[in-house]
């Protein structure tokens, strides 16, 4: 992580090639949609429902659930940082999918019922 190498397994929006995260254009559009939709709905369940209604699937081809949306929303990898367990994220060498500003905004949202 300290030298910018990937610390993740398969993650939506990226492929791992030669131990590096490489942007997957099709999946990255789903990730953007998830962040933008959650920013509007402020609800993990509703965001998952909207994604599923559009026919979007996760990395392994599964439907989205509130828990999978929450995992995506809270993952700093999407704004260009690598994570390793509970350590502070370090700037990665991969291309970011969303801005740090959007990441911070959605992670400060109070979930609505």
- Cα–Cα distance list, 17 to 5, 67, 68, 71, 88 (Å): 11, 27, 24, 23, 24
Biggest CA–CA distance in the chain, Å, is 42
Could you read off the pLDDT of 2-59 as tens digits, one per residue? Answer: 444 555 677 999 998 888 889 999 999 999 999 999 999 999 999 999 999 999 999 9
Burial of 21 (0-12, 13-18, 19+ CB in 10 A): buried
Whole-model pTM? 0.86
């Amino acid at each position: 992580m300290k030298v910018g190498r990937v610390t993740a397994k398969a993650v939506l929006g990226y492929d791992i090639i030669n131990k590096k995260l490489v942007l997957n254009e099709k999946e990255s559009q789903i990730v953007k949609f998830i962040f933008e939709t959650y920013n509007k709905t402020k609800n993990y369940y509703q965001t998952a429902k909207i994604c599923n209604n559009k026919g979007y699937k996760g990395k392994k081809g599964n439907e989205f659930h509130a828990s999978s949306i929450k995992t995506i929303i809270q993952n700093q990898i999407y704004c260009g940082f690598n994570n390793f367990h509970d350590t502070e994220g370090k700037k990665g060498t991969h291309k970011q999918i969303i801005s740090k500003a959007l990441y911070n905004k959605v992670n400060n949202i109070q979930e609505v019922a």
